[in-house]
Chain A
Amino acid sequence: MAAITADTGGRRFVDTVLRARELSILAALIVLVAVTTAVNSSFLSTQGVKDIFLNASILALLAVGQTMVVVTRNIDLSVGSVVGLVAFASGKFVAGHDRNVLLVLVVGMLIGAVCGLVNGVLVSFFKVPALVVTLGTLYVIQGLDYYWAHGQQINAADVPASLLDLGNGSVLGIPYLPLITVVVMVAVGYYLRAYPSGREFYAIGSNPDAARLAGIAIRKRILTAYVVSGVLAGLAGVLWLARFGTVVADAAHGWELKVVSAVVVGGVAIVGGLGSVYGAALGALLLTTIGSVLVVLKVNSFWQDAIAGALLLLAISVDRLLALRVTRALRKRNARHGA
């Protein structure tokens, strides 16, 4: 019992730091929106708010999947290619037919799951470094997609209205896209936080050796993380089609780095074991909002990339600083506890 109470002290500190991290992103977001609204009042109009959430939802969805992978001390660079492949594949699937929206979603997620499975098996069973595996699948999937598409294009006129409605329609004034993202985020967030198996993802990321000694099924968890990331990328691919209507093979080209940026800015440690899907989703929201704000404030769009990069550096520096502090605090507490 004594051990547990002492433990909560340390956990409370770590918790505060983590929550503070999410709160600080939220604060940055609020300041950003407030300043922009002060300059241009229409930024916070109904249409403006709707736009912000619509813009961020696909990136946030990918960030949620990426978080699961990153907390296990891995990375999934293939998500951009998966989105492109699924967006094109589901476009081909629906073109000229009146397919059921749910069926399209299922097909898209299945394709994503297969891609995730390949990544997961290579990383967890064959022990190939994640960076190399997913870099490889990034190009393989992209190559397949390009070979298949070969300059074809999916047009909004070919996509059934029910699917396009998913990208732009809303229920009770709330657009479907962010709604889907929030549901997925809460579900994954709850699982990672409340379920013992969810906690194991963090354990693997903080200390793989200790996790193995504790009898955690490392392979299974890593495989799960990749499949979830793949499924969400597949879902994102269908939503991409629903949102933009016009799709060529290189949809979401280069998005893997955007997603990783969102995750890191959102406070998920790139070395694993730390961070939440809420933070990652907020990071995605922040990055997208900056993009919109720069246009509204009439700032040259060349700055957009530079600012996103600077933010990333800042986030990583803060991470490092916090990690040092947390270690020091834990060590101090442990020393006291031992004495």
Chain B
Amino acid sequence: MTKRPLAAVALAAALAVGAAACGGTTKNSTSGDDAKGAATSGAKANPNAPLKKGLKLAFLPKQVNNPYETIVDNAGIDGAKEFGGTAKEVGPSDASASSQISYINTLIQQRMDAILVAANDPNAVCGPLKQAMSRKIKVVAYDSDASKDCRDVFINQASSEEIGRSEIKVMSDLIGGKGKIAILSATANATNQNTWIDFMKDELKKPEYSGIQLVKVAYGDDDDQKSFQQTQGLLQAYPDLKGIIAPTTVGIAAAARYIDGSKYKGKVAVSGLGTPNQMRKFVKDGTVAKFELWDPKNLGYLASYAAAALASGQITGAQGETFKAGKLGERTIGKDGEVILGPPTVFDKSNIDNYNF
């Protein structure tokens, strides 16, 4: 019974801080708002506050046609049902920088409790998201982060460092630690791919990978035909290429498909990030030995719970706070309000049939 008044205090404090936070972040105002005394201490989040019933959440993916984002969002919508909330997915059909803005404005008018966004551009969505935060709407970024001061928390699929380094490890295993490799990425300015590639390059500096030489980073723009052509070009430009790492789901499918139908099958290793359904054929016919991905369902699920925890006052997005994420157990907020989902899963012939996404 004592929990209830505490929750009320926490909520009131969260509201007060939220209201005072026009243009700033909740976190900053919490630490800087000493004058508010009791209210501020209450806003330090009450980890015991129960999840509120009937929360309204909205998922705003990069674009609604992206199969990966659909899996994430549907899992999040299912997750919301577990705690008695309702969630929906709305979004643009193109992934351009400005296309999400009008959706955010609409969601603000609909008085959602939380907006979950996979930002197409970290800065373009910033203004409207700040406006949402000033109207006491919690903002959770997932998959692709918005600028740090325009969201409460960011659910990171896996630490970028871990992805980058493990990609090199997988490739090194495949080619026996020796030979030329290339990277087939998405667009040249994609934030997540570029971060991973930087970590890959860093990992290659380690002495155990001295036999591996990264000869080229090519960009297929997440377009089938272009990724195809880039793969062909790489193999012609570097006839002794041993492996291709494609840290993008479109790229890895195109590379695998090309190699599957060419004389390079069995000679050039393909690895990277892909979904099991998309890669099943190529794993079974031996074109691709193994590849990685986190479970996108868990990503959506975790984001859903994080949004509920924020909206219920369990967390404010400050480092070190913890919340329970249903079946995923307790999660801790790390530096810069990031929550990391976990290490990526490696898929190969032996386990691919256990996954369906």
Give chain A's interface residues, CB within 8 Å of chain B: 40, 42-43, 45, 47-48, 51, 55, 58, 142-143, 146, 149-153, 155-157, 167-168, 244-251, 288, 291-292, 294-298, 301-302
Contact of A295 among B232, B254, B263 (CB under 8 A): B232
Is there an interface contact between A157 and B281, defined as CB atoms closer than 8 Å? yes
Given known contacts A291-B229, A301-B218, A244 and B254 CB-to-CB distance under 8 angstroms: yes
20 residue pairs from A and B, CB less than 8 Å apart:
A55-B232, A58-B225, A146-B64, A149-B65, A150-B65, A151-B70, A153-B277, A156-B257, A244-B224, A244-B228, A245-B281, A246-B253, A246-B278, A249-B65, A251-B224, A291-B229, A295-B229, A296-B233, A296-B236, A297-B237
Q: With A and B bound together, what is the CA distance between A332 and B119 in angstroms?
A: 64
Contact of B64 among A150, A251, A296 (CB under 8 A): A150
Nearest chain B CB to A86's CB is how many angstroms away? 15
Is there an interface contact between B277 and A155, defined as CB atoms closer than 8 Å? yes
Is there an interface contact between A43 and B278, defined as CB atoms closer than 8 Å? no
List chain A residues, Cβ under 8 A from B66: 151, 248
Given known contacts A151-B69, A245-B253, A248-B66, A146 and B281 CB-to-CB distance under 8 angstroms: no
Contacts beyond the supplied A153-B67, A244-B228, A302-B188: 16 A-B pairs with Cβ under 8 Å: A40-B236, A48-B236, A51-B232, A55-B228, A151-B67, A151-B70, A155-B281, A156-B257, A157-B284, A244-B254, A246-B253, A248-B66, A249-B65, A295-B229, A295-B236, A298-B237
Residue B106 is within 8 A (CB to CB) of chain A in the complex: no
- The 8 tightest CB contacts between A and B, nearest first, are A295-B233, A151-B70, A168-B261, A153-B67, A157-B281, A157-B280, A246-B253, A156-B281
Chain B residue at minimal CB-CB distance from A146: B93
Q: With A and B bound together, what is the CA distance between A295 and B236 in angstroms?
A: 9
Is there an interface contact between B67 and A301, defined as CB atoms closer than 8 Å? no
Residue B230 is within 8 A (CB to CB) of chain A in the complex: yes
List chain A residues, Cβ under 8 A from B232: 51, 55, 292, 295
Residue B5 is within 8 A (CB to CB) of chain A in the complex: no
Residue B282 is within 8 A (CB to CB) of chain A in the complex: yes
Interface residues on B, range: 35 or more
Is there an interface contact between A295 and B218, defined as CB atoms closer than 8 Å? yes
Chain A residue at minimal CB-CB distance from B223: A253
Is there an interface contact between A42 and B236, defined as CB atoms closer than 8 Å? yes
Taken residue by residue from 269 to 299, chain B's Cβ proximity to chain A (1 for < 8 Å, 0 otherwise) reads as 0000000011011101000000000000000
List chain A residues, Cβ under 8 A from B216: 298
Chain A residue at minimal CB-CB distance from B280: A157
Nearest chain A CB to B118's CB is how many angstroms away? 13
List chain A residues, Cβ under 8 A from B67: 151-153, 248
List chain B residues, Cβ under 8 A from A302: 188
Chain A residue at minimal CB-CB distance from B72: A151
Chain B residue at minimal CB-CB distance from A245: B257
List chain A residues, Cβ under 8 A from B253: 156, 244-246
Nearest chain B CB to A187's CB is how many angstroms away? 25
List chain A residues, Cβ under 8 A from B32: none
List chain B residues, Cβ under 8 A from A157: 277-278, 280-281, 284
List chain B residues, Cβ under 8 A from A251: 224
Q: With A and B bound together, what is the CA distance between A42 and B228 in angstroms?
A: 17
Q: With A and B bound together, what is the CA distance between A137 and B216 in angstroms?
A: 41
Q: With A and B bound together, what is the CA distance between A47 and B281 in angstroms?
A: 23
Chain A residue at minimal CB-CB distance from B215: A298
Nearest chain A CB to B237's CB is how many angstroms away? 5
Task: State which residues 212-266 of B face A: CB under 8 Å.
Answer: 216, 218-219, 224-226, 228-230, 232-234, 236-237, 239, 250, 253-254, 257, 260-264
Is there an interface contact between B278 and A156, defined as CB atoms closer than 8 Å? yes
Nearest chain B CB to A83's CB is how many angstroms away? 11
List chain A residues, Cβ under 8 A from B278: 153, 155-157, 246
Is there an interface contact between A151 and B65, defined as CB atoms closer than 8 Å? yes
